[in-house]
């Protein structure tokens, strides 16, 4: 039996808690022991986020509560933790856990800067524990469908790809940490990081990036990046500038030589010279059972612990590269020039 705790019980901590039912259909030998959050109110309050509308009461009465992670580590025998903390706390709490031999699933982005991301990687290696970052897009079937077509070249090579991720300003967060760029990394590290991570997952490391940014309500809350690859045009845009009532939007268009695949309003379509049809996403492409990326990533993490392996889908080195590229994009936006990815 693997004993675990959730640290950070705000928006995403509650998403992971809700998903445990699905995760445990596959991973039957895991046991949630405790939940940790600095705010006592987090155990009873609900959070209305951009990605989740479910607002049902959560029954947490079976679990121990802690307000301090270190105290919980001292008192409980934990095999792993799921952390969903404000981004600037990812590294310190993950490293504290790993130093005690506890495996860590830590939400995206890996860390608020490159140094902290490197320190997390080092701690995982030094202590021989698993570290998996919640870059969940790698686990969603619709995105995997495109990855498969890129690899097989069934419809030829990619000519261009465009990704969008548009949201309202995240106003639900604890102490409003999202809107402080030093704490969240701003829209590049928080929102756009999903597409950026997927782009490097599918197309490899870009040679360089060129980013423009503008201000709506906070600095650089709207960005667009041109990723430099040979033979294709890859772009992505993200904003926190949408109105409260504008639906959260995460979409893409990938144009191959003989087909275009598009995710729009949660519908995955393929268009060729002769047909326009819905494309079936390969749910079990990687032996992962769910159409929910959050469930799949957790199963992948637990399998890595049980089999003493590193995830083939989402190794922590890839998450570190994603943070590096995000910083190159920020540098490009500030300096108004193309920045090479070394």
Ligand X SMILES: NC(=O)c1ccc[n+]([C@@H]2O[C@H](COP(=O)([O-])OP(=O)(O)OC[C@H]3O[C@@H](n4cnc5c(N)ncnc54)[C@H](O)[C@@H]3O)[C@@H](O)[C@H]2O)c1
- Which ranges of 100-170 does DSSP label H, i.e. alpha helix? 114-126, 141-152
Report residue 180 as tokens.
């402080």
190 binding ligand X? (CB under 6 A): yes
Q: Does 240 bind ligand X (CB under 6 A)?
A: no
Q: Which of residues 170-189 bind ligand X (CB under 6 A)?
A: 172-174
171 versus 264: smaller Cβ distance to ligand X: 171
Residue 181 has φ and ψ, to the nearest 5°, of -55, -30
* Residue 42 near ligand X by CB under 6 A: yes
47: contact with ligand X by CB under 6 A: yes
CB of 157 to ligand X, least distance (A): 30
Binding to ligand X (CB under 6 A): which residues in 114-153? 134, 136
In the complex, the smallest distance separating the C-beta of residue 303 from ligand X, rounded to whole angstroms, is 19
Residues with Cβ within 8 Å of residue 306, at least 6 apart in sequence: 2
* Cα radius of gyration rounded to whole Å, the chain: 20
Q: Tell me, what DSSP letter sits at residue 188?
A: I
Binding letters toward ligand X, positions 83-102, x by CB under 6 A: -xxxx-x-------------
* Nearest-angstrom CA–CA distance, 139 and 283: 9
Our finding on whether 13 is near ligand X (CB under 6 A) is yes
Cα 168 from Cα 290, distance rounded (Å): 28
Residue 183 CB, shortest distance to ligand X, in Å, is: 10
Contact between 223 and 327 (Cβ < 8 Å): no
Q: Name which position in 4, 5, 6, 9 contacts ligand X (CB under 6 A).
A: 9
Written as one string, the DSSP assignment of 276-310 is EEEPPP-TTTTS---S-HHHHHHHHHHHHHHHT--
Specify burial of residue 77 (Cβ count, 10 A radius: 0-12, 13-18, 19+): exposed
Closer residue to ligand X in complex, CB, 5/234: 5
Give the shortest CB-29-to-ligand X separation in angstroms.
25
Tell the smallest beta-carbon distance from residue 184 to ligand X (Å).
Answer: 7
CA atoms of 33 and 98, how far apart (whole Å) = 18
Of the pair 161, 298, the CB lying nearest ligand X is at 298
Indicate the residue whose CB is closest to ligand X. Answer: 10
As measured in angstroms, the least distance from the Cβ of 84 to ligand X is 4
Interface residues with ligand X (CB under 6 A) are: 7-13, 36-39, 42, 47, 49, 51, 69, 84-87, 89, 107-108, 134, 136, 172-174, 190
């Amino acid at each position: 039996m693997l004993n675990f705790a959730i640290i950070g019980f705000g928006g995403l901590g509650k998403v992971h808690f809700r998903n445990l039912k699905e995760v445990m259909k596959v991973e039957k030998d895991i046991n949630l022991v405790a939940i940790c959050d600095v705010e006592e109110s987090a155990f009873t309050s609900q959070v209305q986020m951009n990605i989740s509308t479910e607002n049902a009461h959560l029954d947490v009465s079976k679990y121990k509560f802690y307000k301090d992670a270190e105290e919980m580590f001292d008192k409980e025998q934990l095999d792993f933790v799921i952390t969903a903390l404000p981004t600037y706390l990812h590294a310190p709490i993950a490293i504290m856990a790993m130093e005690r031999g506890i495996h860590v699933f830590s939400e995206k982005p890996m860390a608020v800067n490159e140094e902290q991301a490197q320190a997390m990687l080092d701690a995982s290696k030094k202590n021989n524990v698993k570290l998996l970052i919640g870059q969940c897009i790698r686990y969603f079937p619709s995105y995997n469908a495109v990855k498969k077509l890129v690899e097989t070249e069934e419809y030829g090579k990619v000519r261009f790809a465009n990704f969008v991720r548009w949201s309202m300003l995240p106003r639900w967060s604890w102490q409003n940490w999202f809107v402080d760029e030093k704490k969240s990394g701003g829209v590049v590290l928080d929102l756009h990081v999903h597409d950026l991570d997927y782009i490097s997952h599918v197309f490899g490391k870009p040679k360089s990036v060129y980013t423009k940014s503008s201000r709506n309500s906070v600095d650089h809350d709207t960005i667009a990046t041109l990723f430099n690859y040979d033979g294709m045009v890859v772009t992505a845009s993200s904003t926190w500038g949408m109105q409260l009532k504008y639906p959260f939007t995460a979409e893409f268009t990938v144009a191959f030589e003989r087909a275009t695949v598009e995710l729009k309003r949660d519908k995955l379509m393929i268009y060729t010279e002769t047909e326009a049809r819905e494309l079936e996403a390969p749910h079990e492409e990687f032996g992962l059972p769910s159409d929910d990326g959050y469930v799949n990533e957790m199963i992948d993490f637990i399998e890595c612990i049980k089999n003493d392996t590193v995830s083939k889908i989402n190794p922590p080195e890839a998450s570190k590269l994603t943070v590096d590229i995000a910083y190159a994009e920020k540098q490009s936006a500030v300096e108004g020039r193309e920045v090479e990815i070394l």
